[in-house]
Amino acid sequence: MALIKALETQSGAMRLLLYLTKGPSYVTLILKETDIPNIQLLRSVDLLLDLKLIQKKVDGSTYPKRNIITLTNKGKQIALRVKEIEGILKEP
In this structure, which topology does domain 2-90 adopt according to CATH?
Answer: Arc Repressor Mutant, subunit A (1.10.10)
What pLDDT score was predicted for residue 9? Answer: 85
pLDDT reported for residue 11: 86
Domain assignments of the chain as residue spans, ordered by start: 2-90
At residue 79, the pLDDT reads 95
Contact call for residues 4 and 69 (beta carbons, < 8 A): no
Predicted local distance difference test score (pLDDT) of residue 4: 84
Cβ-based neighbours of 19, under 8 Å, separated by 6 or more: 25, 30, 33, 34
* pLDDT reported for residue 13: 94
* CA pair distance 44, 40, nearest whole angstrom: 6
**pLDDT tens track for 17-76:** 999 999 999 999 999 999 999 999 999 999 999 999 999 999 888 888 889 999 999 999
Name which residue leads in pLDDT, 92 or 74. 74
